[in-house]
Structure 1
Amino acid sequence: MLPAEGFTCFPGKMWDKVLSKVKKAVVFMDDKCAESLHWSGGANIVFEAGARNLKQFSSFEAGGENEPKAVFVVSTLLKGRTADIMKDIIGLSHFQYCVVFTTVAHSIHLIANNVTAELEGNPVFEKFEEKLCEWMGDMNYTAEVMHAPVVFTRVSQQLLLVPTFAHLFPLLPQDLDTINIKRPEKKRFGSLTDVDMPSLTPELQIEIKSLASAVNSMFEFTSTREESFAVGPMSRLIAGELANHPQAKNRRKTSTNKASIVFIDRTLDLTGAAGHHGDSLVEKILTVLRRLPGHTADVQVDMLELTNLQRTPDCQPTLAPGCLAQTQSPTARLLWETMLVSKQKEAVMEVRRQLVEAASKENLPIKMSLGRVTAEQLSSYVQLFRSNWEALERHCEVLQLALATAQTLRHPTLPRWDTCLALERLLLQALGDSDFAGVLRQLLPLMKPAAAPADQKPVSGSSLGSRSGEDECGPDELLVLLVYLYSLAAEAQPADDEDEEEVEKVERELIGALTLVITREAELSPLLQKLTGSFPWLVSVLTEEETSSTTKSCVG
């Protein structure tokens, strides 16, 4: 069995290695490492360790005249753009001592630099140390380069995330075509399960090897030998890479603990990921509140309710957002665990209980109430702490979680959650009763632009209805419904050639309708901004004929 205390303290121990070098230093850190630090104590632990400043890893940052020491913490290879940024920062500063931590192991740097022979020491790191001295302007200055796998984020006692690899996605059928184009016809792969590591792009190979290396580091720290299981082509490659890791063989011989690790391709459960079946408060918080910039697992909590500042159309006070990462207070940690694992009703009641208890400790005039917990009730309890700075400081972590709960419960998009759940159930039922084209056509009435006249009627005969009121599906929800539906497409009744043509016809209508919905939005959500940046056709201007036909079929 894997010891729980070793598993949960691993991220913090890796950060201890970094913190041991930050005394009297300016620390430069990229976003991925910053997110890991965020859940391991945040900037406070860096300053408590003696750092003078903490800055973004950017060519536009630099150290001051009286700051001779720098520490860089990056999640990438020490080459290319990373090396260029480091050179820019050093060139604008007056450093005499530079320490670089990278989450990418030296063995992977060897592969990235096409060094196949086994060499003594860490030649790539040593060569980079020479470059650092050269950039500082004196080869007698001091430079150190080390590996620190600060890639894990401890969200709770039982949950570790790896935000550094959030973008790593399983192979798709289209990827097989791309891989086979570069191979001789006789050596082309018949399916994704046949794909091997050498056939992947160098960048993807580095990502997989880096992930396997990070997992191996965790097992080394906990003295664990693993038994790996893989479900899906990409998972098989990662599990194989972990099994063949250079240090894994010796680790397994000497390890005293055992653990099973299961790798699962995310594409195998897109239906579950896109569904609204959960009853978790944290899931809803992460869905409706905006993400913290540069983060994948935390959100912005509006803290204005804790001040006397007023938000008006002419005045938008600037206030740093709160977040969910509560690591200092035992009370807040327990509350966060409850919010993670309990059902929404139980979690919300626990939030109220903790607020009442905190207010009682501070002798605040709280009015007890029983029954259903509302967003207004939670906000009224939170506002008792307003401008009471000592009380705010003592209970700020619980207050942030309470505000996140209240803001989620009253968020205007939350009613769409139940609407999406109902639509998903109807779609699932429809897939068993009709062909795929028929199910797709039932989505068309939902693709009604928000700016369309309210008196227009939806297409008759649809079991899904149309967009109307605060619980209507916005563009984000429509995209999620499409992901949900296509993930279940194999469950639809078999289609012949005629049906496939009909599917293509309906898909063209859906693309036009969805484009019209998006172009009518006053402000695009972060998701849509990301998608439209990658796929310009989503915001292309429809021709007059397309607009006319789409409008007729979608909005009456």
Structure 2
Amino acid sequence: MSISLKQFSKACWSEVYNRIIGAVVFLDDYSAECLHWDGGLFNLITNGAVAVKSLSPFECAKKNQKKAVFITQATNTQLQTIHQIISNSDITHCIVISCVSFEIVYLEINNGKDVSDTVLAEKAQAEATNQLENLLINWVGKQQCVVEVVYIPLFTISPTNVVFLTPPYRNLYPTYDEKLTPDTPSFDLYSLSRDERFLVRSLASSLNNMFGSMNMKEDIFYMGAFSSLIAGILENSPICVTRRKNCSNPVSLILVDRTLDLCGVTSHSTESVLDKVMAVLPKFPGHSNDVAVDMSSLCEANIFTKGSYLDEVQLSPGCLFHANDDSCVQTYDHMINKSEKEVMFDLYNKLSKLDVQKSPGPKVLLKVTPQSIEKIISASKGNYDIIIKHLGLLQQGLGVVQTLKSPKLSELQLLMSLERQVQQNLAASRDSTSVLNQISHLIKARKQRNLSLENLLALLTHVYSLVGTEVIFNKQHEESVQESLSVAILEDHKSLFACEFEHPMTLEKSQAIAKKIMDRFKEISQMRSILQKYNSVIKPCETGTGHEYRGVLQQLVEDLVDTDRPEMVDLRHRNEGIKDLLRSGLNILTSKKKTTKHPLDNSTVILFVVGGITAEECKQLHRSIITSGVDNVVLIGSTKFVTPIEAMKDVLNIQRYKD
């Protein structure tokens, strides 16, 4: 690679920083999350921004602030928001930084019109630029004004050197107008809803620009119907074809649908500290990949609780990732790749060195507990010189302590135990009928067992994905689960849907929702039926006793790095088919059988999971790669980090049932 993914992201933000001197910066949540992983708010301030605000119709620039920079996904809704902000301000210099390519912006602006000729002629970029500039000139409404529109692909964050995520595409999921499978075998982009099409095109376009910036020429592999759509755009889009002609670094891009294996993302059986923290603590406001850490134990300020200000002071939450602190970046990497014990010792050793006079001195401990870390952190309370100097590390320490001391952790441990029981029951008897009965009882007794309905739905998602087509559940037992769910939804619908219903929930309505959810579970069990080799994820343990879960991604990567290069029949290469026949037609009688293209033929491989991934999966996949001894650089990408509850809500699309 000519540059790394971190360097690509930093180069993009450098372009932003060059344009913000003296400006009020308005940015959307997606851009704000990407900024957080580059260094955060102070990167904008230190590079010359006079103010930073949310891209909201309720915001505006002050009277004396004449320059505004908008960082946006450039959807029609966001463009209207920019219009409102400009109307409420008195700016004369306006810059719009679009995080999606102008080809996509052109389709968005001209939604409903036939613009195929312009796109095919590769004139969409110029047309979108002209249209946006004219809109801005009209909105500013002054003869003497400066407007500029620029595309900067702000869409990647890099939690580690080998893992990257794409926050603007956190809502992209392998569905076809809310269905898990397309209605017909022959499907295209128009099998998707308008919003889904926009996200698919935007992701493909963003990847294209990233490859161009990194001088990459990709071979595209895919597994899953949805990934084939993204692969098709990257393979056939005129702008992608043109870019590949000018790039020289070969790379293999492997796209995989998350829906092929939902076990890994709905499992609570994780060694990763990061997965535990994300499952326990609330999300950092507006973000999908970081958490909010309660900082009140370090400060004398009161926190915002129960809808009212206490002493009119609000304490901002802390978080886990701190890009400008190398020590914190290392600790964050440990939260993904090291054991809980190693993370605890790492935190203890670093925190022990903060303030020798106030903190307990480093000791040789056999075990570091949350209490021992908490004791060191508490010693820094009120010492704001120490707090400011080591704020990132203190936030990470508090985040881990709050997780390990949370009552939620016992619920997660119970769910881990249940998952192991289910796994062994199914492995021992593929026609096992006790599993659903057990879960049905758990749903009924959930409050006595301190189990949330959300986590039990995640467990059911895990079970149905785990068994796939190998187990046919008893119809009566499924009906029993459905009945239990309907009663639970009636009782817990407000917390499940996190909103008030327009009309009161009735038993009839909860029964209808329960039926739809059960139908979805049955769809989930069928997702791997299209696979030949990776259709089962319950495998005998290497020790010879018992069975274990080995996910589709894990099996794929193990085959990928196997020196014997076994045939990966489920991994399709975008160039397979008629093109190969035509290319070899002249020599078909004399040539040997064409060797199948292998991802490791290229020195760099990017495995991208559409629909989310866990830190535990990243760790296991990376471990398989480095222990294999292959020389290839293998990067792991996805749309976001997910927790079991988030993964369940994504695949069930739970919010659609609230109406």
Q: Does 1:165 align with 2:169?
A: yes
5 Å-filtered alignment, 1:500-511, equals 500=475, 502-511=476-485
Determine helix, strand or coil for the equivalent of 1:101: strand
Residues 172 and 441 (structure 1), Cα distance of their counterparts in 2 relative to 1, 3 Å cut: farther
Question: Which moves more between the two structures, 83-92 or 485-494?
Answer: 485-494
5 Å-filtered alignment, 1:18-417, equals 18-77=16-75, 80-112=76-108, 113=110, 114-116=114-116, 117=118, 118=121, 119=123, 122-171=126-175, 175=179, 180=183, 189=184, 191=185, 194-309=186-301, 318-360=314-356, 364-366=359-361, 368=363, 370-417=365-412
AA in 1 matched with 2:45: F
Determine helix, strand or coil for the equivalent of 1:293: coil
AA in 2 matched with 1:154: S
Alpha-carbon separation, structure 2, partners of 1:365 and 1:202: 58
Instruction: Say whether the 8 Å CA contact 2:220–2:254 is kept in structure 1.
Output: yes
Displacement after TM superposition at 1:111 (Å) = 3.2
Residues 540 and 199 (structure 1), Cα distance of their counterparts in 2 relative to 1, 3 Å cut: closer
Alpha-carbon separation, structure 1, partners of 2:151 and 2:143: 22
Alpha-carbon separation, structure 1, partners of 2:242 and 2:147: 31
Residues 529 and 294 (structure 1), Cα distance of their counterparts in 2 relative to 1, 3 Å cut: farther
Displacement after TM superposition at 1:202 (Å) = 3.8
CA offset digits 1:391-420 (Å, max 9, x no partner): 112111111111111111101111222211
Residues 111 and 440 (structure 1), Cα distance of their counterparts in 2 relative to 1, 3 Å cut: same
Alpha-carbon separation, structure 1, partners of 2:144 and 2:178: 52
Alpha-carbon separation, structure 1, partners of 2:492 and 2:455: 12
Instruction: Say whether the 8 Å CA contact 2:347–2:397 is kept in structure 1.
Output: yes
CA offset digits 1:68-108 (Å, max 9, x no partner): 1111011233xx32222111111111011110011121122
Displacement after TM superposition at 1:358 (Å) = 2.6
Determine helix, strand or coil for the equivalent of 1:67: coil
5 Å-filtered alignment, 1:463-542, equals 467-468=448-449, 472-491=450-469, 493-494=471-472, 499-500=474-475, 502-516=476-490, 518=492, 524=495, 528-530=496-498, 540-542=505-507
CA offset digits 1:414-458 (Å, max 9, x no partner): 12222111101222233353757643222122124666xxxxxxx
Alpha-carbon separation, structure 2, partners of 1:81 and 1:310: 37
Alpha-carbon separation, structure 2, partners of 1:174 and 1:121: 31
AA in 2 matched with 1:59: P
Alpha-carbon separation, structure 1, partners of 2:38 and 2:287: 14
CA offset digits 1:479-513 (Å, max 9, x no partner): 21111122134355446xxx43x255224312224
Instruction: Say whether the 8 Å CA contact 1:375–1:406 is kept in structure 2.
Output: yes
Residues 480 and 244 (structure 1), Cα distance of their counterparts in 2 relative to 1, 3 Å cut: same
Determine helix, strand or coil for the equivalent of 2:91: coil
Q: Which runs of 5+ in 2 are unaligned?
A: 512-659
Alpha-carbon separation, structure 1, partners of 2:480 and 2:436: 7
**1:462 maps to which residue?**
none
Alpha-carbon separation, structure 2, partners of 1:309 and 1:23: 33
Alpha-carbon separation, structure 1, partners of 2:276 and 2:180: 36
**1:17 maps to which residue?**
15
Instruction: Say whether the 8 Å CA contact 1:72–1:100 is kept in structure 2.
Output: yes
Instruction: Say whether the 8 Å CA contact 2:68–2:93 is kept in structure 1.
Output: yes
Instruction: Say whether the 8 Å CA contact 1:228–1:260 is kept in structure 2.
Output: yes
Instruction: Say whether the 8 Å CA contact 1:437–1:506 is kept in structure 2.
Output: no
CA offset digits 1:250-282 (Å, max 9, x no partner): 433343422222111010120111012220111
Alpha-carbon separation, structure 2, partners of 1:107 and 1:173: 23
Residues 200 and 363 (structure 1), Cα distance of their counterparts in 2 relative to 1, 3 Å cut: closer
Alpha-carbon separation, structure 2, partners of 1:7 and 1:56: 27
AA in 2 matched with 1:60: F
**2:598 maps to which residue?**
none
Residues 263 and 121 (structure 1), Cα distance of their counterparts in 2 relative to 1, 3 Å cut: closer
Instruction: Say whether the 8 Å CA contact 2:352–2:376 is kept in structure 1.
Output: yes
AA in 2 matched with 1:335: T
AA in 1 matched with 2:322: Q
**2:590 maps to which residue?**
none
Alpha-carbon separation, structure 2, partners of 1:14 and 1:170: 28
Alpha-carbon separation, structure 2, partners of 1:485 and 1:172: 23
Q: Which runs of 5+ in 1 are unaligned?
A: 181-188, 452-466, 547-556
Displacement after TM superposition at 1:476 (Å) = 2.5
Determine helix, strand or coil for the equivalent of 2:282: coil
**1:459 maps to which residue?**
none
TM-score by length of 2: 0.70
CA offset digits 1:506-549 (Å, max 9, x no partner): 24312224225526xxx83xxx344x66x989x82448x99xxx
Alpha-carbon separation, structure 2, partners of 1:84 and 1:492: 51
RMSD: 2.8
Alpha-carbon separation, structure 2, partners of 1:395 and 1:356: 12
AA in 2 matched with 1:115: V
Instruction: Say whether the 8 Å CA contact 1:374–1:409 is kept in structure 2.
Output: no
Displacement after TM superposition at 1:345 (Å) = 1.4
Alpha-carbon separation, structure 1, partners of 2:70 and 2:374: 41
Q: Matched residues, percent identical? A: 29
CA offset digits 1:272-329 (Å, max 9, x no partner): 1101222011111111000012110010011112123578999586311101121112
Displacement after TM superposition at 1:145 (Å) = 1.1
Residues 494 and 338 (structure 1), Cα distance of their counterparts in 2 relative to 1, 3 Å cut: closer
Alpha-carbon separation, structure 1, partners of 2:471 and 2:324: 54
Residues 338 and 504 (structure 1), Cα distance of their counterparts in 2 relative to 1, 3 Å cut: closer
Residues 449 and 94 (structure 1), Cα distance of their counterparts in 2 relative to 1, 3 Å cut: farther
Residues 25 and 281 (structure 1), Cα distance of their counterparts in 2 relative to 1, 3 Å cut: same
Question: Which moves more between the two structures, 435-444 or 317-326?
Answer: 435-444
Structure 1 segments (4+ residues) deviating >6 Å: 310-314
Alpha-carbon separation, structure 2, partners of 1:369 and 1:518: 48
AA in 2 matched with 1:394: K
Instruction: Say whether the 8 Å CA contact 2:290–2:321 is kept in structure 1.
Output: yes
Alpha-carbon separation, structure 2, partners of 1:138 and 1:435: 74
CA offset digits 1:217-267 (Å, max 9, x no partner): 111111111222101001111112112233333433343422222111010
Alpha-carbon separation, structure 1, partners of 2:125 and 2:461: 49
Instruction: Say whether the 8 Å CA contact 2:102–2:125 is kept in structure 1.
Output: no
RCO greater where, 1 or 2, for CA within 8 Å and sep 6 or more? 2
